[in-house]
Amino acid sequence: MSIQPLIKKAIAYVTNKDELMVFTHTDFPEAGVQVPAGTVEENEEPSEAVVREIYEESGVKEVRILELLGIYQYNMTPYRNEIQKRYVYHLELTQSTPSTWRHWEIHPSTSKNPIAFDFYWVKLDSSNLGLADGQGYFLSKLVHKIKDSQDSAIT
């Protein structure tokens, strides 16, 4: 019986008001809708990894971590023989972006060639945005937090 390695991952829920930054792989749409995420490198904190991954995958530099929404484990079988310990952060965009844009990840971990991602914003009006590979685990928590903050701003 083989033991699955435990790999630390950082996942980014980047919001701009009530919208979430998401992307699809330009050449591999079957990979589904995703949010920026990646491996926490040795001697790196998950909070550092999440900001680095956002920049590498989207080109967006100006974000501010609002909070760690939570940590959970996700089994990648049958795609990979690993268990991922996922640190999910809520970050706020602090720069302007277009409504859609394409960005190339120059040093992807799975290929030597740059990978193109098509980014866009989706309204956070439900907790089921169909994010790939279990990335939506804490979306309902995020939706409630955003709704609560909007309600507080109104009263």
Reported as a pLDDT band with limits 50, 70 and 90, residue 68 is very high
Q: What pLDDT was estimated at residue 155?
A: 58
* Percentage of the residues of the chain whose pLDDT score is greater than 90: 73
What is the value of pTM for the model shown?
Answer: 0.91
For residue 148, count CB atoms less than 10 angstroms from its CB and return exposed for 0-12, middle for 13-18, buried for 19 or more: exposed
> Any residues with CB less than 8 A from the CB of 116 and at least 6 apart, and which?
25, 26, 27, 102, 103, 104
Supply the residues annotated as catalytic. Answer: 56
